[in-house]
Amino acid sequence: MKRILRLEKIFIAQYLKQLIEYKGDFIVGIIGVFLTQALNILLIGVIFTQIPSLKGWTLTQIVFIYGYSLIPKGIDHLFFDNLWAVGQRLVRKGDFDKYMTRPLNPLLYVLIEIFQVDAFGELIVGILLLVSSAHIVMWTPLNVLIFVISIPFATAIYTALKIALSSLAFWMKQSGSLLYVFYQVNNFAKYPVTIYNLALRFVISFLIPFAFTAYFPAAYFLTKKNWIFNIGGTMLVSVIFMAFALWIWKKGIAAYESAGS
């Protein structure tokens, strides 16, 4: 673990040096993230100017769910965004070979190589939303502990999805488009799943379980109900989904053949 953390520190330092050379690109990226989240929040506000509640959920409650959703998404974006490159170009162009020739686990190398600083935009917005709506939650020491524990498991669901779908590139040569389509489902999880029909609830809860990255754990703090399903389910789903993703990655590595020209 100490070796991994040391390597992560080295990779972060190198990536930050690259950002110094392209300050404009970094600033534009941060601004873009803030604008995107601001528009989404504005949309929620517009909806609630017309209706007092959404299937029993108040504006403040939805703001809390939305804010919670940005924390695991932002953490995954910050540390593990390089998985997109595997599905989009690394395998197709043959650049994945470098990961196979280094004295480091290929997946670990992919995960720690990039430090995506513009993810701080998502994290800052998420924290601000949680702080603005925190008064509706009773923050006992136990709830604070559960909150801290739940975030890494929710993050693991995002990372597992990216690992699983980027691994398909080992057979398809390129899976970035498929990863993008599945990843967009997370937009549904920023709102209470009870507002959707049963089919969509099932999809975002158990097939592409983004509901466990936001709604279900956040609902526990808001309602104080079903902690076994909402929190325990988040932990269980993340472990199962990650195990499945790692299995696909292992199979993909075994089937990998260098591509490119």
pLDDT value at residue 185? 85
pLDDT value at residue 11? 59
CA separation, residue 116 to residues 1, 77, 208 (Å): 21, 6, 24
Q: Both tokens of residue 18?
A: 């690259």
Looking up tokens 């050379």 gives 21
Of 129, 135, 130, the residue nearest 42 (C-alpha): 129
- Long-range CB contacts (< 8 A, 24+ apart) of 104-110? 104/7, 106/253, 107/163, 107/246, 107/249, 108/4, 110/82, 110/83, 110/85, 110/86
Helices 215-223 and 233-255 cross at an angle (nearest 10°) of: 170
What is the gyration radius of the CA atoms in the chain, in angstroms? 19
Q: Which residues of the chain have pLDDT under 50?
A: none
- Distance from C-alpha of 217 to C-alpha of 224, rounded to nearest angstrom: 10
pLDDT value at residue 57? 83
pLDDT value at residue 58? 84
Distance of CA 242 to the CA centre of its chain: 13
pLDDT value at residue 123? 87
* Pair 182, 208: CB distance under 8 Å: yes
Helices (H), the chain: 2-21, 23-50, 59-80, 83-85, 97-100, 106-113, 120-133, 141-167, 169-172, 176-183, 198-202, 215-223, 227, 233-255
- Residue 67: CB partners within 8 Å, gap ≥ 6? 125, 126, 127, 128, 129, 130, 132, 133
pLDDT value at residue 100? 85
pLDDT value at residue 47? 61
Please, which residues bridge with residue 57 across strands?
54
* Pair 217, 150: CB distance under 8 Å: yes
Task: Quickly count: other Cβ atoms within 10 Å of residue 202's Cβ.
Answer: 13
pLDDT value at residue 10? 61
Task: Quickly count: other Cβ atoms within 10 Å of residue 256's Cβ.
Answer: 18
pLDDT value at residue 145? 94
